[in-house]
Amino acid sequence: MLMSRSSRASSSKPKAVAVRTPAAKRAPASGPSARALPDRFFRHLVLNLRNGVLAIARDGRIAAMNEVAYRVLGLTPNEGDLGRPYAEVLQGCPEVVRVLQSAFDTSELPNRAELRLRKTGRAIGYTISKIFDDDQAEVGLTLFFKDLTRVEQLEERERLRDRLATLGEMAAAIAHEVKNPLASIEVMAGMLRRQLTDRPDAMETLGDIIKESKMANAIVVEVLEFVRPIRLQVEPLEVAEAARDAIQGLDHGAAQVRLQVDDGVPELMADPHQLRQLFTNLLTNAIEAIGPGEPVDVRISYVAEEAEPASAGPPPPAQVRIEVRDHGPGISEDDLERIFSPFFTTKPQGTGLGLSIVRKVVDAHDGIIDATSAPGRGTTFRVTLPVVPAPAYLKESNHGTHPRR
Ligand SMILES: Nc1ncnc2c1ncn2[C@@H]1O[C@H](COP(=O)(O)OP(=O)(O)OP(=O)(O)O)[C@@H](O)[C@H]1O
Ligand SMILES: [Mg+2]
């Protein structure tokens, strides 16, 4: 499957694997306070770090691996992991195996590096250190790491915000300048048509001119609406209500939409009008992508706040998750990169603003959207919205949204 964006850590909580290290039998570390502490303390210290920690002995066997490490790497802990070769335990993460392998082979270790896990798409920031014993002999190495996915998402949203602000200002200026000449063309063509009632060919051409300028004007109006800043009108809202409203309002295809709402989904502080717009645009796309009678699945679920976040950056809050899934033709990898860009469309009559508006609605609510798709395998849009948005978003959003259709 192709993903435009990766998902967050799963909430399952693997058990930590205890450290069984030769250090327990060695002389305690030097220094007055270290001497006063039992080895048990250091074991707990390692296992309770909020970073992923992986310690490997010189012979390549796992000496310690904490719970966060399992969670971030997307692995399930097994009782027998301790003492097994790291390449076996980490075989689901070949990128990590490669990094560890080269760390064993080199004396120059990077201070801080990043890698992306292919399996989950998560970005990881890590540091590798060698472990030396009291005689300065190399006895192993440790990998400390954090999930950077959320930091990346926040950075990307900032970038998009800047891009849209610039693009918006430019588009608003152009649209404003084009609007008046377009209106003049329409008026003048109308006047001319009234003077040429005896020339049916000229009247037909003028009719076409009027029709085209009306269409161009409609696009200009749409662009202006699109870039206009709005103030969100938030209120406690059941997301399912917004979904039902949107489904009822669909011109056609409402019968194809199957809505599943999980138990215990809380109300959100959100703008009902904008959320309905979000559903309308996603459902319209799905219905346009599938054949007649084929289903579109909408699921609304709850993602509780992560008790012990393994990610760098602020912990993700409790969220409501919306998934819109179709079994249509899917989206190619190239197109998937561009679907959220304003005016990107593959449809003859499309404007290419539907998903840009969805994205702005999500952004204004401090949420995240990603799309998963591959040709022939359908498409899933997944939106996660925080139950309580950041106060800044209650004040003013720079990104306009507007009702469509
Ligand atoms: N569910 C889907 N299945 C396949 N392709 C999709 C789907 N949703 C979006 N796309 C692709 O993303 C493009 C952009 O979608 P978007 O809604 O922004 O614009 P549009 O549907 O083309 O035009 P409109 O402005 O009328 O919505 C579409 O043209 C299509 O190629
Ligand atoms: Mg659309």
270 lies in the same domain as 399: yes
Written as one string, the DSSP assignment of 141-157 is EEEEEEE-HHHHHHHHH
Rounded distance from Cα 77 to ligand 1 centre (Å): 41
Q: Which amino acid, one-letter code, is at 148?
A: L
CA-proximal residue: ligand 1, atom 10 (nearest): 285
Are residues 133 and 161 both part of a single domain?
no
Query: How high is the pLDDT of residue 285?
Result: 95
Beta bridge partners of 269: 236
**Boundary of a domain, candidates 119, 147, 175:** 147
pLDDT at 315: 62
pTM, to two decimals: 0.58
Number of domains within the chain: 3
Amino acid at 84: R
Residue nearest atom 17 in ligand 1 by C-alpha distance: 354
- Ligand 1 centroid vs 330 CA: distance in angstroms? 11
Q: Are residues 327 and 218 in the same domain?
A: no
Burial class (CB in 10 A: 0-12, 13-18, 19+), 398: middle
The domain in which residue 200 lies consists of 150-228
Ligand 1 near 282 CB (within 6 A)? no
Q: Are 126 and 111 in contact (CB under 8 A)?
A: no
Q: How many residues does the chain have?
A: 405
Q: Which of 256, 284, 338, 347, when mutated, tests ligand 1's pocket best, judged by the most ligand atoms within 8 Å of its CB?
A: 347
Whether residues 160 and 16 fall in one domain = no
Same domain, 217 and 260: no
Report the nearest atom of ligand 1 relative to the CA of 326.
Answer: 1
Q: For ligand 1, is residue 46 a contact (CB within 6 Å)? A: no
Whether residue 237 is found in the same domain as residue 277: yes
CA of 285 to the centre of ligand 1 (A): 5
Amino acid at 197: T
If asked whether residues 174 and 313 sit together in one domain, one would say no
Whole-number pLDDT of residue 243: 96
- CATH of residue 126: 3.30.450.20
The best mutation among 223, 339, 405 to test binding of ligand 1, ranked by most ligand atoms within 8 Å of the C-beta, falls on: 339
Domain boundary among 206, 228, 250: 228
Tell me: do 332 and 387 sit in the same domain.
yes
pLDDT averaged per 10 residues, the chain (length 405): 36 43 43 62 85 93 93 90 93 91 82 84 89 90 88 74 75 83 92 92 93 88 73 89 94 84 92 94 94 92 71 71 95 91 87 88 88 90 84 43 37
Ligand nearest to the CA of 340: 1
Best residue among 164, 278, 284, 285 to mutate for probing ligand 1, ranked by most atoms within 8 Å of CB? 285
Place of tokens 């692995």: 75
**Which protein residue's CA is at the shortest distance from atom 13 of ligand 1?**
345
Report pLDDT for 313: 60
User: Nearest Cα to 258, choosing from 287, 289, 227, 297?
Assistant: 297
pLDDT at 343: 83
Same domain, yes or no, for 120 and 221? no
- 260 and 397 inside one domain: yes
Q: Which residue(s) pair with 379 in the sheet?
A: 326, 373
Number of CB atoms found within 10 A of residue 248's CB: 10
Sign of the torsion angle spanned by Cα atoms 282, 285, 287, 289:
negative
Q: Rounded CA gap, 116 and 138, in Å?
A: 28
Q: Can you give 13-24 as a three-state secondary structure string? A: CCCCECCCCHHH
SS3 content of the chain, % helix, strand, coil (to 5): 40, 20, 35
Confirm if 203 and 197 have CB atoms less than 8 A apart: yes
**One domain for residues 87 and 66:** yes
pLDDT in the model for residue 81: 92
Sign of CA dihedral 183, 185, 189, 192: positive
